[in-house]
């Protein structure tokens, strides 16, 4: 059997569930509704990688960089020096689009292609091993047809895989629904899907995490409880089933 290179997320329980880590070069959809922890988990993934010497890039299209860093500063795992030293690069896609002279709200086929080239060039030039796009939903919203979305994600995924860059794409869904994406395309092009949800128990909302798919990995599909804390960031634990 051929052993695949694995990209450790550094979130201990998640790596165990993955059988060691995400197969290197995969494109993974991180699905969840607002506040489910997508951005936090993606940042933790990048910071953990940077601590091991793997450079990363975080493309945001939903929130300005000052807001993103302000929120992340609340977590002990966040290390400003890794940002300042360029081990984790934070890039606002709206600013890139503006600089390219694109309409920041709507991309034509040519715009999408120019953007794709820029993303690839940045990833290539920085020699990043980990890439985050937060969110693919907001990016797809700017593309104007399902064909454009499919083409964009497919090309992005395959060029990053060729660079052995492991990618997390965040996918925003409405609360309390069990779907993976807004456009119904993103999940088919992704190698893996992670679902951040919640369940209500005795009036409390408990965060949950579930690995839905991961091509090339013998992974767990059990639903876990997930917690977010300043001290430890995202943590997973077995979901204790209540007897009621």
Ligand X SMILES: Nc1ncnc2c1ncn2[C@@H]1O[C@H](COP(=O)(O)OP(=O)(O)OP(=O)(O)O)[C@@H](O)[C@H]1O
CA distance 237 to 197: 14
SS3 state of residue 46? helix
40 contact choice in ligand X, Mg ion, none (CB below 5 to 8 Å, kind-dependent): ligand X
Print the binding letters for residues 28-47 with Mg ion: x by CB under 5 A, - otherwise.
-----------x--------
DSSP-based three-state secondary structure for 143: coil
Contact letters for ligand X, residues 203-242 (x by CB under 6 A): -------------------------xxx------------
Position among 34, 53, 84, 101 found at the interface with ligand X (CB under 6 A): 34
Half-sphere exposure of 161 (CA within 13 A, CB side): 14
Cβ count within 10 A of residue 73: 10
- The nearer residue to ligand X, 35 or 216, going by C-beta atoms, is 35
Which is nearer to Mg ion, 68 or 102 (by Cβ)?
A: 68
Q: Which is nearer to ligand X, 110 or 200 (CB)?
A: 200
40 contacts 209 by C-beta, under 8 angstroms: no
What are the DSSP E strand ranges found in the chain?
6-7, 22-23, 27-32, 56-60, 88-92, 130-134, 166-172, 192-201, 204-214, 224-229, 233-238
Rank residues 90 and 161 by Cβ distance to Mg ion and give the closer one: 90
| Interface with Mg ion: number of residues (CB under 5 A) | 1
Shortest gap between Cβ of 71 and Mg ion (angstroms)? 9
Q: Which residues are near ligand X by CB under 6 A?
A: 32, 34-40, 74-75, 172, 228-230
Q: Which residues are near Mg ion by CB under 5 A?
A: 39
């Amino acid at each position: 059997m051929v052993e695949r290179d694995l990209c450790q997320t550094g979130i201990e329980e998640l790596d165990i569930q993955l059988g060691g880590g995400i197969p290197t070069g995969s494109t993974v959809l991180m699905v969840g509704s607002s506040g489910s922890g997508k951005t936090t988990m993606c940042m933790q993934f990048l910071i953990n990688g940077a601590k091991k010497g793997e450079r990363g890039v975080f493309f945001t299209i939903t929130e300005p960089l000052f807001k993103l860093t302000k929120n992340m500063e609340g977590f002990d795992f966040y290390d400003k020096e890794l940002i300042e030293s360029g081990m984790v690069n934070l890039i606002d896609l709206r600013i890139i689009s503006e600089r390219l002279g694109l309409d920041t709200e709507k991309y034509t086929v040519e715009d999408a292609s120019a953007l794709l080239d820029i993303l690839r060039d940045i990833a290539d030039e920085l020699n990043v091993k980990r890439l985050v796009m937060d969110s693919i939903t907001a990016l797809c919203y700017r593309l104007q047809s399902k064909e454009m979305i499919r083409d964009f994600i497919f090309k992005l995924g395959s060029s990053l895989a060729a660079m052995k860059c492991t990618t997390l794409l965040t996918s925003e869904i409405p609360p309390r629904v069990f779907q993976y994406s807004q456009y119904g395309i993103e999940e088919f092009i992704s190698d893996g899907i992670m679902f951040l949800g919640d369940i209500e128990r005795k009036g409390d909302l408990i965060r949950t995490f579930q690995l839905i798919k991961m091509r090339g990995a013998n992974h767990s599909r059990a639903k876990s409880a997930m917690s977010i804390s300043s001290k430890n960031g995202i943590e997973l634990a077995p979901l204790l089933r209540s007897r009621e």
